[in-house]
Amino acid sequence: MDNRVGADGMEPNGLVIDIRGLTRVYGTGDAQVNALAGLDLQVRHGEFVAIMGPSGSGKSTLMNIMGCLDRPTEGEYILDGLDVSSLDRTELAIVRNQKIGFVFQSYNLLPRLSAVKNVMLPLLYNTEERFTEDERYEKAVAALESVGLGDRLHHRPNEMSGGQQQRVAIARALINSPAMILADEPTGNLDTRSSTEVMNLLHTLNASGVTIVMVTHEPDIAVQAQRVVCVRDGKVVTDGGDGASQCLERGGRDDAH
């Protein structure tokens, strides 16, 4: 693997994400779909970036590649100083565990496990650091306390509100001190009050230096980020402007690609 991290432990150019000429093609012949068409995107350490786009724009494909859940057909993706463009499945799984904290719209918590055990899970797959059971528990407790859930350690998901479940998911995302948090519609299943609480938490984390990339279809959520990146036809069409409400040409949830 081509690791470009400098002697100080950080990538030389201060970028968490450096994407250049990214292309993703599905199918062949008449059925070929160009989900991404030479897309470029850079995200620096400590930024809070929202990604928007109408249905079919390519934002879901972009999110999957940024999350190392898919690989590009062509182009370069440097994540936290590491070229992940051509890594195999095993290598991508290691990168996902160590460098990316995922927050999903549907929380993705294991229903039979308590909050603290859900948060402990990524530590079990951390191949860089081996923690004892007590160490994993202590780190998970600290993570839950950091998101205001120190009194919900042993509650299962069905014993918590949607907002509390999402905060458990955020604690789980933070447990391995990732290079970035990748949030896919983090407020999509929440009421207004819970959405506000989750966004406030993300702002607090970002203020402490956590890099956050958030995919959303909601302009009022997107404008809370430092930058709004609008994707259309597999390319970035605007970046950093205040046109979140104009980014989506029509309503709808995540695009198919």
Characterize 78-103 residue by residue with b for buried, 16 or more Cβ atoms within 10 angstroms of its Cβ, and e for exposed. Answer: bbbbbebbebeeeebebbbbbbbbbb
Residue 42: inside a domain: no
pLDDT for the residue numbered 130: 82
- The pLDDT > 90 percentage for the chain reads 75
Residue 188: inside a domain: yes
DSSP H or E run through 229? strand 227-232
Q: How many domains does the chain have?
A: 1
Residue 29: inside a domain: no
Contact by Cβ (8 Å): 36, 22:
yes
Q: Give the CATH number of the domain where residue 194 resides.
A: 3.40.50.300
Give one word for 38, left, alpha or beta, with left for phi > 0 and alpha for psi -120 to 50.
Answer: left
Q: Model pTM?
A: 0.88
Please, which pLDDT band fits residue 249 given cuts at 50, 70 and 90?
Answer: low
Domain range for 209: 47-57+88-247
SS3 91: helix
pLDDT for the residue numbered 4: 41
| Ordered alpha helix ranges (H), the chain | 59-66, 89-99, 115-124, 133-146, 162-174, 192-207, 219-222, 244-247
Residue 212: inside a domain: yes
pLDDT for the residue numbered 213: 97
Angle (CA) 169 191 238, round 5°? 75
Residue 79: inside a domain: no
- Token digits of residue 231: 């994707």
Residue 105: inside a domain: yes
Contact by Cβ (8 Å): 178, 143:
no
Please, which pLDDT band fits residue 118 given cuts at 50, 70 and 90?
Answer: very high
Q: Mean per-residue pLDDT for 109-133?
A: 91
Q: Mean per-residue pLDDT for 166-181?
A: 96
Q: Over 90: is that where the pLDDT of 159 sits?
A: yes
Please, which pLDDT band fits residue 30 given cuts at 50, 70 and 90?
Answer: confident
Q: Mean per-residue pLDDT for 45-73?
A: 93
Residue 129: inside a domain: yes
Residue 106: inside a domain: yes
pLDDT for the residue numbered 214: 97
